[in-house]
Each structure stands twice: as C-alpha cells, then as structure tokens.
Structure 1
C-alpha cells in the first residue's frame, strides 16, 4: 500500500488526460508577461513538479507544444486548445497548471515576477521581483 497521492487531470475537452503523483516542489502565482499572454489572464496559478511525477494516460498524440524561448516549452491540447503544462528545461521541472488538476489541494506559497503584475494581490505571500535566487532569479522581494 502506498501513501503517495495521485491526482487526475485533463485538458478542457478531455481528449488529453493525465495523472500526477506525489507532491509538487512548489506552488504559486506567476505574473510574467509570457504567462499572462499565454493564459489570457492577469495571473497564472502554477504547480511545479519533477517531470517523472506526470503520466499522460490518453491523448499523447494530441499534445501540441511551442517554445517562445529555451526556458519554457508550453503544451496544449490540439483539439480544444486547453493549456496543460509548461516544461522548464533549465529548472528541470514541469509546471502543471493548477486549473487542469481540479482535485489537487492547491496551496500557493509565493508570487513570482511580481514586478510585472497587472493584478495586485494582497494575500500575505512573498512577492518576488522575478524569481528566487535558487531558481536563477535575483531573489529580491517586493512589498505588497
């Protein structure tokens, strides 16, 4: 018997389904222009996982990808356009969008790229100017 949690996820139409196992290495909100443009929203809720935690269960051939920069490879469903994941090769992590895993108990811990925000959020969480130093950023925090 395993104590590892498994969560089911999918794209908007259900053509791509997946499971994610275990716990993420981080959760929070990204305010960068790229995430805002990609999500068509003022902020993106992220969950960062080791790539081995993600298992595509159906629709592998239906996943499209796009890399605007080498830092991120964004993936979506070719049928509905629903956003699924972003691979971050430099960090060795995969961002599985919080909204695509509805039963996962999302608990954000940080705001990243807050200097670019279009939606100020006063929630008491740390607000990073860009990224934490251990993720290649400046490590500078900002006031709420």
Structure 2
C-alpha cells in the first residue's frame, strides 16, 4: 500500500496529493529559491511527476517560469506556493511545508555556495547540484 500525503495552499483553494515516497528531500540555498520563498532557505521534497496530483483548484493555479529549469506554481487567490516543476529533471518539488504529514528527512543541501544561513547539521553541502542532475557534485565544508 502506498503512502498518500495531502496539502493545501494558504487559503485552501488548491489541494495537492502525493503518493509513494519522494525521490529526495533537502534544502536549497540558491538566490532564486530564497527570493521565491521569502526565506533564507527552501525545504524541498522531490517526486516523480506521476506521483503528484492537483486534486482541487487547478483553475486557480498560476505559474511562473524564470528559467527553463523551474516552473513555479502558486495559488492565484492567496499567493500560497504549491510546487515547482523541473521539466529537464523530470521531477516535481512539492514544498515540504505543503505536506504536513510527511516526515521531512533531508538528505542534502544544494547550492550551498549561495547560502546566507549556514546550517551545521552533518548533511552533505553541495556547491551546486549533484552530478546526476547536471551539477558539479562538489561538496563544501560545513
């Protein structure tokens, strides 16, 4: 039996459901994620596209693509952030805060070279992205 996790935007107009397990979880420190989230770091959960479904509010789901790597989705009623589709990677980032019953178990920090909030937690700190996702795979010291 698959695990199912549900979440909503800030006002509840958009509902998202994920099934199974994420392919990865962690923190992104890039300037784009910080700016989008209005915070010093963004907690992500990555899923295969077929594991993510908008179950309510598709008609009020807006999106913005700053680069071809990220298609950020949000509720047009409350502005609440929902997910970030990464077409070249064939992955969907459902923001960790969107899935309150999913136990967030981060495994990595990405884009740590851009951090404004150093985090000493023993997790690998990647300069950019893992090699398998087109990055250098280079790690940085905590």
Fold-level similarity (TM above 0.5): yes
Q: Distance in 2 between matches of 1:141 and 1:48?
A: 20
Q: Distance in 2 between matches of 1:81 and 1:100?
A: 13
- Long gaps (5+) in structure 1: none
Q: Distance in 1 between matches of 2:54 and 2:42?
A: 22
5 Å-filtered alignment, 1:100-111, equals 100-111=98-109
Q: TM-score under structure 1 normalisation?
A: 0.98
Deviation at 1:55, TM superposition (A): 1.3
- Long gaps (5+) in structure 2: none
Deviations 1:42-96 (A, max 9, x none): 0000000001101111100010000011110000000000000000011000000
Per the alignment, residue 38 of structure 2 pairs with 40
Deviation at 1:137, TM superposition (A): 0.1
Per the alignment, residue 49 of structure 2 pairs with 51
Secondary structure, aligned partner of 1:65: strand
Count of matched residue positions in the alignment of Structure 1 and Structure 2? 142
**Deviating 4+ runs (over 4 angstroms):** none
Q: TM-score under structure 2 normalisation?
A: 0.99
5 Å-filtered alignment, 1:1-144, equals 3-144=1-142
Deviations 1:11-54 (A, max 9, x none): 01100012100001100000000000000000000000001101
